[in-house]
Structure 1
Amino acid sequence: MRVSVPTIPQINSLAALLPRISHAEAVDRIATFVAPGNVALLTGAGVSVDSGVKAYRGKDGRYMNPNYKPIFYHELVDESPRGHAFRQRYWLRSYVGYPPVRNTKPNTTHFAVAALQHTSIVTNLITQNVDGLHHKAIRHVWDEALMRERILELHGTLFHVHCKHRHAFDRDTFQEWLSQANPEWKAYMDDLERRGQKPKTNPDGDVALEGVSYDDYVVPDCPRCLEEGVRNNTIKPDVVFFGESIGAEVKDRSFEIIEQSDRLFLMGTTLATYSAFRLLKHALELKKPVMYLNVGPTRADGIPGVEKIEIPSGQVMRDVVEAVAGTRATYDPVLRDMLLSGVVDPPTDEGYGDDVIEEAATDRSA
């Protein structure tokens, strides 16, 4: 089976040809576009950058490294010893990388989007992100049922896992099982926390562990399978892996959202994955107005009918909300709170990285 990591096609990107846009013009154009309401919003990893999450395909992104080799779906669920080795690799890296994702805070863009949802300008949100930050930004306003109704996680979520027999667990519970099965790695993680350090984590919770042996890492069996007399450690997060198709229900719902909305607004995504790109194609086929807010080349560059603005979302989206909401931004306490909320903590190359992980792994095997 041959599966490749989606990349941006080699096209003559218009990104370098677009004139520099002023802050005021960007705010005005975006506000004018979304003001009529009933907007479908599609977001990608770029909206989480200000939360400290490095984008996959941006500058220094993991997918820009030609040597990066992610685990594919067929490898993770392979029931042979080779598949077991892939699960050991995946779950050790994810065990180290999950806490930073779990503890990441929404940024100003997430709260600006939440404000547009609160005012019913954005009626449906489709996100490719698995970090749950859109949910965190609006959780104090919407209950779980409304979030399920109005937010579609196109590629799943890191916060739930399931075994091959569909027994489901929340990720924090599974994280504890991994800790119990691997006490030396639990001690290592506790030591990192005491020192206030965290790994450089990718948007899917993966951490590169250079020079580490995965042979002794224990992936626990599903306890419900054990109750049924079956040993089974083929467990995966509720995330769509490379080589895995999104479910028919999710696909159908994503198309319905485009069809039921009056316009499509794309933000912080290169549209490298076809599951997202086909939503743009569907909107254009239905002659929906489309606006694209992103920095850098994308799969949509040069496509007629797509109005693109090159400016970071964190620089403009709060002002867009204020422009659209008008005086409501001052008297609505929920809206006012959202416009004052959000971290601005973009990732840096400082702090510890693969070298410390490698040193720790050497200590484990001594």
Structure 2
Amino acid sequence: MRVSVPTIPALLSARSPVNQVSIAEAVERVSAFLTPGNVTLITGAGVSVDSGIRAYRGEDGRYMNPNYKPIFYHELTDETSKGHAFRQRYWLRSYLGYPAVRKSFPNTTHYAIAALQYAGVVPRLITQNVDGLHNKAIKIAQLNSVHIEESILELHGTLHRVRCKYGHPTDRTIFQDWLSSANPKWKDFAEAATRGNNKIRTNPDGDVAIEHLGISYDDFVVPSCPSCLQENRRNDVHKPDLVFFGESISAAVKQRSYSDVENSDRVLIIGTTLATYSAFRLLKHAVDLKKPVMIINVGPSRADSLLGAEGVEKLDIASGEIMRNVVRNVLGNRGSIDHLVEMMLSSGVRKPPLKDDDDRSAPRAAE
């Protein structure tokens, strides 16, 4: 299946009051849902908002920039001059946006989820996010890397690795250094941006919008792959290790995501509109298997069409408001006697983007 630009069919224009609940009621209901254990958890961009990473959609489910125009897989990998221009656009914007993702910290929801993973309540986590914050959070639990890899499935990949078209892998930090060396002017611009001299804002995929600054991509240099040069060929076609729109999720990842749902007794979904079908189909799979499903998300979602199905419920509330208390309820005394659990439940930032960080009233250039 190819990943297409996500939409929410029959999108609601406002939040549904039917699903809105108080913090106390939400904590009680989510705790009761999780207590039996063996839960597969699916997360989306809403989980990372408290880490300062903007979600694409606002509380009404609409894109916060109505001019949003992603680069497609076939455009990024096109070897003609047109494709080269697309790569200049992508990599300049990603070069400027990646440092904010790299430096971001897990928030209270990430650490609450990590505590549930550590305690065995949530043995399987599927995330649509490419920021790696779930991996950062679970490290505090001192689990080995193999266990972490087996328990977290990054459905759409990660920003933290890059591969050239021939498959040569590169750590993203090293790739950033290559881009800096090839583009000293843009290195200076990026450093000025971190000091607040330029208004650039990071999207969930590490991309930023800069057209409103009157900037051209024409002079940005995308370096050739050093491994390819050693093999006597020049190649500047690089892609972050994530799934682009128009690209297919691998058969192995798709099968594992299905297996994670099948091997659970229930499915919890947090912080996603499920507009991307690769995630929505996991909800449908759980419903077909008659697994109990709970959805925690602010505003309308693609899942709303299934709320009449048996065993599917949705709470309209932000996860950051409830998840610490949920974990304390579910784990009981363990939270006070296990220092790792207590450390996780006292860790995490809550620094969401400003409420007015929304372009719908005065849209910027294409994002």
TM-score normalised according to structure 2 size: 0.91
Mapped contact 2:61–2:299 kept (Cα < 8 A):
no
Question: Which region of structure 1 is more displaced relative to structure 2, 205-214 or 4-13?
Answer: 4-13
1:127-276 map, 5 Å = 127-141=127-141, 142-194=143-195, 199-210=200-211, 211-276=214-279
Amino acid aligned to 2:94? S
Cα distance, 1:342 vs structure 2: 0.5
Q: Distance in 1 between matches of 2:260 and 2:296?
A: 19
1:302 to 300, 305, 318: 305
Report the CA distance shift for 1:103/1:12 in structure 2 as closer, same or farther (over 3 A): closer
Mapped contact 2:20–2:315 kept (Cα < 8 A):
no
Mapped contact 2:225–2:235 kept (Cα < 8 A):
yes
1:58 equivalent in structure 2:
58
Report the CA distance shift for 1:62/1:181 in structure 2 as closer, same or farther (over 3 A): farther
Report the CA distance shift for 1:198/1:156 in structure 2 as closer, same or farther (over 3 A): farther
2:73 is aligned with 1:70:
no
Mapped contact 2:4–2:276 kept (Cα < 8 A):
no
2:288 equivalent in structure 1:
285
Amino acid aligned to 1:343? V
1:343 to 332, 343, 349: 349
2:115 equivalent in structure 1:
115
SS at match of 1:301: helix
2:324 equivalent in structure 1:
318
Q: Distance in 1 between matches of 2:54 and 2:31?
A: 27
SS at match of 2:342: helix
Q: Distance in 2 between matches of 1:349 and 1:273?
A: 24
Consecutive unaligned residues in structure 2, runs of 5 or more: none
Q: Distance in 2 between matches of 1:140 and 1:170?
A: 22
Report the CA distance shift for 1:175/1:238 in structure 2 as closer, same or farther (over 3 A): same
Q: Distance in 1 between matches of 2:50 and 2:337?
A: 27
Cα distance, 1:225 vs structure 2: 0.5
TM-score normalised according to structure 1 size: 0.91
SS at match of 2:58: coil
Q: Distance in 1 between matches of 2:208 and 2:248?
A: 24
Cα distance, 1:4 vs structure 2: 5.6
Amino acid aligned to 2:69? K
Cα distance, 1:70 vs structure 2: 1.0
Cα distance, 1:196 vs structure 2: 8.6
Alpha-carbon RMSD across the aligned residues, in angstroms, is 2.2
Cα distance, 1:139 vs structure 2: 1.1
Mapped contact 1:100–1:198 kept (Cα < 8 A):
no
Mapped contact 1:157–1:239 kept (Cα < 8 A):
yes
Mapped contact 1:13–1:302 kept (Cα < 8 A):
no
Mapped contact 2:180–2:186 kept (Cα < 8 A):
yes
Q: Distance in 2 between matches of 1:295 and 1:108?
A: 17
Amino acid aligned to 2:5? V
SS at match of 1:74: helix
Q: Distance in 2 between matches of 1:237 and 1:198?
A: 24
Cα distance, 1:147 vs structure 2: 1.2
Question: Which region of structure 1 is more displaced relative to structure 2, 190-199 or 259-268?
Answer: 190-199
Mapped contact 1:44–1:129 kept (Cα < 8 A):
yes
Amino acid aligned to 1:54? R
Report the CA distance shift for 1:339/1:97 in structure 2 as closer, same or farther (over 3 A): same
Q: Distance in 1 between matches of 2:48 and 2:260?
A: 22
Q: Distance in 1 between matches of 2:222 and 2:138?
A: 34
Cα distance, 1:63 vs structure 2: 3.6
1:94 equivalent in structure 2:
94
Q: Report the identity percentage.
A: 61
Cα distance, 1:200 vs structure 2: 1.0
Q: Distance in 2 between matches of 1:133 and 1:48?
A: 8
Report the CA distance shift for 1:195/1:45 in structure 2 as closer, same or farther (over 3 A): closer
Consecutive unaligned residues in structure 1, runs of 5 or more: 359-366
Report the CA distance shift for 1:196/1:110 in structure 2 as closer, same or farther (over 3 A): farther
Cα distance, 1:14 vs structure 2: 9.5
Q: Distance in 2 between matches of 1:193 and 1:24?
A: 39
Amino acid aligned to 1:56? Y
Q: Distance in 2 between matches of 1:38 and 1:91?
A: 40
Report the CA distance shift for 1:13/1:252 in structure 2 as closer, same or farther (over 3 A): farther
1:19-30 map, 5 Å = 20-30=20-30
Mapped contact 1:14–1:301 kept (Cα < 8 A):
no
Report the CA distance shift for 1:3/1:153 in structure 2 as closer, same or farther (over 3 A): closer
Cα distance, 1:58 vs structure 2: 2.1
1:361 equivalent in structure 2:
none
Q: Note the alpha carbon deviations across 1:99-134, whole angstroms, 9 max, x for none.
A: 000000010000000010011000100000000010
Cα distance, 1:74 vs structure 2: 0.5
1:47 equivalent in structure 2:
47
Cα distance, 1:20 vs structure 2: 3.5
Q: Distance in 2 between matches of 1:3 and 1:257?
A: 20
Amino acid aligned to 2:185? E
